Every structure is written in C-alpha cells, then in structure tokens.
C-alpha cells in the first residue's frame, strides 16, 4: 500500500466518524457556542468536539504527524505530514438545520499552506447525505465506489458555478461585483455555504466550477485533491490580502480566473 493510500484510509475513517458525531449532535439540538470574526463566523460545541475526536484518532494512528484544525489551530509534528481538518465546514448551515455541511480531512506533505503543500490524501464527508468523497494522490477521486470526473466542457448554455463570501464585511461589495462578472459566462450561480462540498461537487461533475476569496486551508485542502484527481484544475493566487481559489475543469478554468481575478 502506498503512503497516500494509507493516509486516505485514515482520512476516510476519521471523516466518517467525526461527521457521524456531528450529525448525532445535530439531532440532539445545536447551540451557537461563540461568534468569531463576524455574525456568519460561528462555532458550535459540535465543531470543537468533532475536531478533538479527529485529532485524538490521528494522534493514535500517526503520532508523529502535525495537525492543523479550524478550531484549535496548529500542532507541529516531526514526520513532514500535517493533517488539515475542518470538523464542520458550513457551520452556519449546520446551526440552522440546512443539510449542506461536511467534515473535511486532508493529509498534506510540507508546510500546511496552499502555496507550499502537496496534498497526499483527502476525504470530504457529507453526513446528512451519506456521501463520502475521497482521494489519494495518483489513485483517483471516488464517491461510493464510483470514480469521479470533472465536467470537461460546460456546454453552450454556460457553466453552473458556485461561490462563497468570506467573513470580512468590508469586502462583500467587491465579492458581489465579481459575481456580476461571472454571470455572463455562467448558466447560473450557487452559494451553498460549505466550500469543501462545493469543491467536491466540482470533482463529481455536479458543478462546473467554484471560486472564493479568503478561504482558509481547512476549507479546501481535501477537496482540492478531489478536483485534481478527477481531472480538474486548481488555481490559487496569494498575491492579495485575500487569496483567491478557483477550481474547474480545464476548459472553464481560464475564463473563470479571468473573470474573478480582475480587481474591481
């Protein structure tokens, strides 16, 4: 078994266990534990509990690896591999009872930043839908035993594209202006509220592309690998105080990046 495949098996197991815990807690009722940088930037007790569980499981399976979690930050390791984890991506959906939320787990080699990392394995689990997307570098991206492929060409009617809005309210006007620029090359635009799932859906061919400024590593590490292993491309620009991520099949990426990277 390759290292990537070994890490993928761990990612699948902990994403499933963590996501199932989140779904059980949802059934018991959810309270917002804290509001962080903005009204939409919230944390629930379940986010913390799920992250602690995943960290504990990984510490047993791979004691020398580092860990970077949305809620608890970075814990350095010595192996060169870091686990990048979002216990509940789409926490606002989760708190409001909208099923579009996911547990995202990636194992990356190198510094755990998108400019420097090589993502070796990833799992994005949508517990409310019972769907677990997973990939290992060089071994393809998969959902329920089905190999995933991005939509290569969106077709004449245009692409179905998703986006998200970061938490920094001072940039929302710019984000909305960019949406206006993407509309002419799109069939329609979605804002579903869970970036890891949006990107996984690009890998699965359910969406043609996705873009967002200001995403954090845990929002997209695992899903980026799904897209590249499904034949798509990831463009990451960190030349701005709010880095831009765009993902799509090869035909759409160029036009999408041209539309969204043009500063307003």
Interface with ligand IPD in residues 103-142 (CB under 6 A): none
Place of tokens 């913390």: 48
Q: Which is nearer to ligand IPD, 3 or 52 (CB)?
A: 52
Interface with ligand IPD, residue 194, by CB under 6 A: yes
Least gap, CB of 220 to ligand IPD (angstroms)? 8
Beta pairing, strands 81-89 & 66-69 = parallel
Interface with ligand IPD, residue 22, by CB under 6 A: no
Q: Which is nearer to ligand IPD, 46 or 194 (CB)?
A: 194
Count of CB atoms within 10 A of residue 119's CB?
A: 28
Least gap, CB of 153 to ligand IPD (angstroms)? 26
As a whole number of angstroms, the distance between CA 84 and CA 104 comes to: 8
Helix (H) or strand (E) holding 88: strand 81-89
Cβ burial of 199 (10 Å; 0-12, 13-18, 19+) is: buried
CB-based contacts of 146: which residues, under 8 Å, 6+ apart?
none
Q: What would the x/- binding string for ligand IPD be over residues 66 to 95, using CB under 6 A?
A: ----x---------------x--xxx----
Least gap, CB of 152 to ligand IPD (angstroms)? 25
As a whole number of angstroms, the distance between CA 204 and CA 133 comes to: 9
Least gap, CB of 38 to ligand IPD (angstroms)? 10
User: Contacting ligand IPD (CB under 6 A), which of 30, 137, 178, 195?
Assistant: 195
Interface with ligand IPD in residues 214-253 (CB under 6 A): 215, 219
Place of tokens 């890998």: 203
Mapping DSSP to helix (H, G, I), strand (E, B) and coil, where does residue 195 land?
helix
In the complex, the residues that contact ligand IPD under the rule CB under 6 A are 70, 86, 89-91, 164-166, 193-195, 212, 215, 219
């Amino acid at each position: 078994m390759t290292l990537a495949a070994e890490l993928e098996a761990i990612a699948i197991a902990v994403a499933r266990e963590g996501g199932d815990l989140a779904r059980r807690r949802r059934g018991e009722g959810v309270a917002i534990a804290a509001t962080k940088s903005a009204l939409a930037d919230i944390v629930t007790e379940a986010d913390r509990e799920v992250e602690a569980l995943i960290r504990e499981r990984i510490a047993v399976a791979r004691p020398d690896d580092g860990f970077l979690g949305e809620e608890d930050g970075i814990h350095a390791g010595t192996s060169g591999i870091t686990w990048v984890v979002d216990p509940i991506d789409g926490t606002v959906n989760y708190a409001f009872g909208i099923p579009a939320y996911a547990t995202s787990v990636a194992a990356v080699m190198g510094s755990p930043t998108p400019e420097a990392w090589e993502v070796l394995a990833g799992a994005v689990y949508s517990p409310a839908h019972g769907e677990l997307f997973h990939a290992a570098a060089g071994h393809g991206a998969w959902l329920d035993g089905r190999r995933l492929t991005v939509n290569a060409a969106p077709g004449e009617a245009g692409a179905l594209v998703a986006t998200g809005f970061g938490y920094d309210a001072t940039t929302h006007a710019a984000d909305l202006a960019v949406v206006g620029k993407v509309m002419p090359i799109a069939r329609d635009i979605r804002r579903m509220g869970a970036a890891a799932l949006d990107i996984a859906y690009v890998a699965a061919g359910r969406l043609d592309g996705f873009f967002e400024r200001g995403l954090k590593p845990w929002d997209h590490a695992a899903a980026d690998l799904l897209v590249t292993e499904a034949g798509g491309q990831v463009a990451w620009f960190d030349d701005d105080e709010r880095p831009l991520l765009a993902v799509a099949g090869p035909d759409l990426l160029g036009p999408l990046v041209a539309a969204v990277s043009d500063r307003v």
